Each structure stands twice: as structure tokens, then as C-alpha cells.
Amino acid sequence: MTVYINDLSCFTPFGDLEQTWKGVTENKVAYGPITKFDPNESRYTRSKVAGEFHFNAEDYPIITESERDRLPESNQWALALASKIDLDIIDKSRTGVIVSPGFSMYLEILKANKDNADNIYHYCPDMIAHNINMKYGLTGASAMTLTACSTGVYSVIWAAMMIEMGMIDHALAGSVDVTIHPDAFKQMGKLRALTTKFNDTPEKASRPYDTKRDGLVLSEGGAIFLLSKNKTNKTICQIDGYAVNNDAYQTVAPHPNGEEVQKCMAEALKGRIPSLINVHGTSTPMGDYAELDAINRLGLQEVPITANKSQLGHCMGAAGSVELAMSIMSLKHAIIPPTVNVEEVEEGYSPKIYNKSTSAEITSVLCNSFGFGGTNASILVS
């Protein structure tokens, strides 16, 4: 069975889907100095750069005043994203919700504990999907996945599998992560995962594959997709393959040989050659080239690659869904997004990277998403 993607919505530090695509194709970056809190108040916040999405719930009448008071911000973002999806074309009794939180789940529990809040919405991560079910009357099966930075793609794959199994006919699937918070910088800073060398030149901070890369830019956002077993006049693309697996290596680092990443991509592709690969590309010293080695071993070294995190930063649990949205926009508009800030790559490598948005014939895009705990996910859309 073929599963189709018939609609999507997206938030990034650039704004909504249209604003994000405009920023991406104009070769801009969405991150800059932290403004949501004072990074100088904590000795743990050595990285002063972030990709911030400034959300105003009052812009979305679907979110009631009561919901603004009691729901975590991640749940409000999810409701707002779902409100942009055309739900009139589906049978709501056969529509599931597989929308997942990321790092924000941990932050919301911390906040509830600090505030001594007695609010189940802050303690139950599945409430992000449940609130969409209730708001829009979707009574099909619902679930969530928590696979760190691969959560978004995992959620879409899970939804596609549920449709293929006949459990549901349609699904809202994706992820949301609200991350710009002192505790997130504290935890990621302790792991030495964040960039610290570009605090004075934040626009240069995220630089996948560049020899001067020193860590990721923490960012936030979300994306939700309408998946369906039915092709309609609104169909944007179809899912042609997917795979998930695990490195079984280390909690916070990918296996340096990239063997499981290679297997994951190979299973999703099944011998096909994509027009474009949207790489995970975090701008961390270890991860970037393990993925590139895997691509090269598959004989795909001539396939153009794009690293959305160079422009958007790392949206954590929302990274996969946001980058899948950009992959679909690349497919729709026949444009390869740039990978900015790449001045010099490691010796012996020559990835097919463009530093400006480039028109190209694109018939399929492979989107890779990997996460802490060794989780790997690849999805092919055409």
C-alpha cells in the first residue's frame, strides 16, 4: 500500500511553513543571540546562540484562554500546527494522531515540579496527541514515540505503518519541541554538544561538515503532516520507503563507522538513487562524517546533500519532522536548500554541497534523522 502526504504545517525560528521556506531559499540563518532568557545568569550556559520560535497563542483562536493557562507550550504549538491542516477531507473516525514531544517533555516536568503544579498535562507526554484528538474530534488510534532527535521521522513512519496495517486510514503525524530554556542549555552543555566558539558571530555557529564546527545550535519548532491511504487533488507527495534501527553503541554519540546508518538508508532506498539527501548533519565533530561515510559506501557520493540544521539549528525532537517538511518543499519546488557556513571540509572528502539555494530536477528525497540512544530513521518521499 502507498501512503500519501496530503498536507503539512511547520514552525521554525523563521516562522511558519511559508516563512521558513522563504528564509531557507534566501540563504539566511534562523538563529542568533539568546533572547528568551539571560544566558549570563548561569555558568552552565556557555553557548549564547539559539534558534528561537516566538509563539503567540492568541494568534490562534482555536486555543482557548483556559488552554493557554493550563496546557504546556508544546501542546499549544501542536494544536496550532494541527489547525493549519485541512481536516475536512478525511473520515475523523478513521484518523489517528501520532504527534510526539521531545526534550520539552523533560523541561515541562521540571517546570511543574518547580511550580508545585498539580497538572496532568505537564506529566503525561501523550497529552500532546490526546489534546489534538479532543480538539478536532479524531477518534482513530493515537500514540507517540520518544526517540530523541529522530522522534519526528519515527512518528511519521509509525503513522505510515499503522495505515498500511489497516488500523487507521489517515493520520496527523509529526513532532514538536520547545527547547530554549536554561535547563536545556545546562544539560546539553554538560554533554559538550553545543557550539561555544561563535558567540560573537552567531550567524556562523552552525556549520555541518566544516573543519571549524564545534557543536550544534540549540533550536526549536515543530511540523505535522496529514498522511492518508487516499491520493487526492491535494496530495503533495508519497512515502516510497522507510527504515529504522539502532547503533547499539553509545548513548550520546553515533557509531564512528556509520554501519547501522548505512543499513538504515539502504533499507529505505532498496536500491533506488534519490535526487537529494537531507542529511542529519548536526555540526558536531563526531556525527557529520560517520553519516557521510555511510553515504559514500552506498555509492551515493554524487547525490547532492543538504543540511537544514546549518540554517535552522537543531530543533531536537522536532528536527526530523521539520527537516522532512523541508525535504517535501524541496521536492515540490525543485530546489536544493543550501548548506551554509561550509568553508572547508575534512581532507579526503568532497560532499556535493551547495552554499546557496539551487534549482534542480528533484523526483525523490531521502531524509535522515538520528538521535541519542543510537536511534536511526530514514524516509524516502517522491
| Model confidence at 55: pLDDT above 60 | yes
Homologous superfamily of the 3-228 domain (CATH): Thiolase/Chalcone synthase (3.40.47.10)
Q: In degrees, to the nearest 5, what angle opens at C-alpha 356 toward C-alphas 354 and 359? A: 85
pLDDT grade for 118, boundaries at 50, 70 and 90: low
Q: What fold does the segment set 238-381 form as a domain?
A: Peroxisomal Thiolase; Chain A, domain 1 (3.40.47)
pLDDT for residue 269: 99
For 367, phi then psi, to 5°, come to -110, 120
**Percent of the chain scored above 70 by pLDDT?**
97
| Model confidence at 144: pLDDT above 70 | yes
CB atoms near residue 74 (< 10 Å): 31
**b/e sequence 346-360, b meaning 16+ C-beta within 10 Å:** eeeeebbbbeebeee
pLDDT for residue 107: 80
pLDDT for residue 105: 78
Same fold, 3-228 and 238-381: yes
| Model confidence at 190: pLDDT above 60 | yes
Over residues 263-283, the mean pLDDT reads 98
Which alpha helices (DSSP H) does the chain contain, by range? 17-25, 65-70, 73-83, 103-114, 120-123, 127-136, 151-164, 182-190, 259-269, 287-297, 309-312, 319-333
pLDDT higher for 376 or 69? 376
pLDDT for residue 254: 87
Is 149 assigned a catalytic role? yes
Of the residues 237, 264, 314, 367, only one is catalytic, namely 314
Alpha carbon distance 167, 169 (integer Å)? 7
Is 170 assigned a catalytic role? no
Alpha carbon distance 262, 241 (integer Å)? 15
pLDDT for residue 46: 94
Taking phi over 0 as left and psi of -120 to 50 as alpha, with beta for the rest, 360 belongs to beta
Alpha carbon distance 194, 188 (integer Å)? 6
Alpha carbon distance 353, 342 (integer Å)? 9
Do residues 90 and 134 lie in contact, with contact meaning Cβ atoms separated by under 8 Å? no
Over residues 162-181, the mean pLDDT reads 98
pLDDT for residue 251: 86
Is 314 assigned a catalytic role? yes
Alpha carbon distance 253, 376 (integer Å)? 12
Of the residues 122, 170, 255, 280, only one is catalytic, namely 280
pLDDT grade for 41, boundaries at 50, 70 and 90: confident
- Chain centre to alpha carbon of residue 270: 24
CB atoms near residue 41 (< 10 Å): 9
For 243, phi then psi, to 5°, come to -160, 150
Give Cα separations from 201 to 49, 193, 313, 359 (angstroms).
Answer: 9, 18, 14, 29
- Chain centre to alpha carbon of residue 131: 21
Over residues 64-84, the mean pLDDT reads 95
Of the residues 149, 237, 315, 367, only one is catalytic, namely 149
Please write the tens of the pLDDT for every residue from 145-166: 999 999 999 999 999 999 999 9
Do residues 15 and 220 lie in contact, with contact meaning Cβ atoms separated by under 8 Å? no
Number of C-alpha atoms within 13 angstroms, CB side, residue 161? Answer: 13
Do residues 6 and 89 lie in contact, with contact meaning Cβ atoms separated by under 8 Å? yes
Would you kindly state where each structural domain of the chain is located, as residue ranges?
3-228, 238-381
Alpha carbon distance 373, 370 (integer Å)? 9
